[in-house]
């Protein structure tokens, strides 16, 4: 929110909550309450970019096998398969990303993808698996072009990234 007062502007800033998160590239980031951001690793390349513990795509779930069309509820058989996966994967933590094909609006696909990723994250947490981050990409990160029904089916997925 901004206010104009005799040619000057007062800007009320965003409130930052100090936190740490891990990107799919394995980089741990931090943010302070004043908005300052940085990387957790002291190891950097010559150009100043961090050297991170890269995450591994350790699971890709075809959405059509886990979710009904336009739904994000996982049936009991699907939940059991996921529980077994998270019990046996042995990662330090997980980043879960949801993806869709391009048939609906961008806003709809973003909501559906994050809801599906959150459904998988709830199963992971139910067995004590640490979930570092949950993201929805909608149709923005297709595996293959959305040019056929078979390709669109490949793009409807939830990916599990294992952070070692």
Q: What is the pLDDT of residues 81-134, one digit of tens each?
A: 999 999 999 898 999 999 999 999 999 999 999 999 999 999 999 999 999 999
User: How far is it, in rounded angstroms, from Cα 19 to Cα 21?
Assistant: 7
* Pairing mode, strands 131-136 and 93-99: parallel
Q: In DSSP terms, which residues pair with 4 in a beta bridge?
A: 9
User: How far is it, in rounded angstroms, from Cα 50 to Cα 157?
Assistant: 29
Helices first, then strands: H and E counts in the chain: 4, 9
Over range 53-75, report the average pLDDT: 82
Please check whether residue 99 is in contact with residue 156, taking contact to mean a CB–CB distance below 8 angstroms: yes
Q: What's phi and psi for 6, nearest 5 deg?
A: 40, 55
pTM for this predicted structure: 0.69
User: How far is it, in rounded angstroms, from Cα 80 to Cα 75?
Assistant: 9
**If you average pLDDT over each of 11-25, 37-51, 144-158, which comes out highest?**
144-158
Domain 56-163: top CATH class: alpha beta
What is the residue-averaged pLDDT of the chain? 82
Residue 61's pLDDT band, with cuts at 50, 70 and 90, is confident
Contacts of 20 (CB under 8 A, 6+ apart): 28, 29, 30, 40
pLDDT for 5 beyond 50: no
pLDDT for the residue numbered 59: 82
How remote is the C-alpha of 41 from its chain's centroid?
A: 21
Domain boundaries, the chain: 15-53, 56-163
Neighbouring CB atoms inside 10 A of 34's CB total 8
């Amino acid at each position: 929110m901004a206010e104009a007062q005799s040619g000057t502007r007062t800007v009320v800033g965003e409130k930052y909550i100090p936190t740490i998160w891990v990107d799919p590239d394995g980089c741990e980031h931090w943010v302070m309450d004043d908005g300052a951001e940085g990387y957790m690793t002291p190891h950097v390349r010559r150009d100043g970019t961090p050297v991170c513990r890269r995450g591994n795509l350790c699971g890709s779930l075809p959405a059509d096998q886990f979710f009904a069309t336009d739904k994000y509820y996982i049936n009991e058989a699907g939940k059991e398969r996921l529980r077994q996966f998270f019990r046996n994967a042995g990662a330090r933590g997980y980043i879960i990303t949801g993806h869709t094909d391009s048939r609906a609006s961008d806003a709809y696909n973003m909501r559906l993808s994050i809801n599906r990723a959150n459904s998988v994250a709830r199963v992971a947490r139910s067995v004590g698996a640490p979930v570092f981050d949950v993201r929805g990409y909608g149709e923005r990160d297709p595996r293959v072009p959305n040019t056929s029904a078979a390709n669109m089916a490949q793009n409807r997925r939830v990916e599990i990234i294992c952070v070692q």
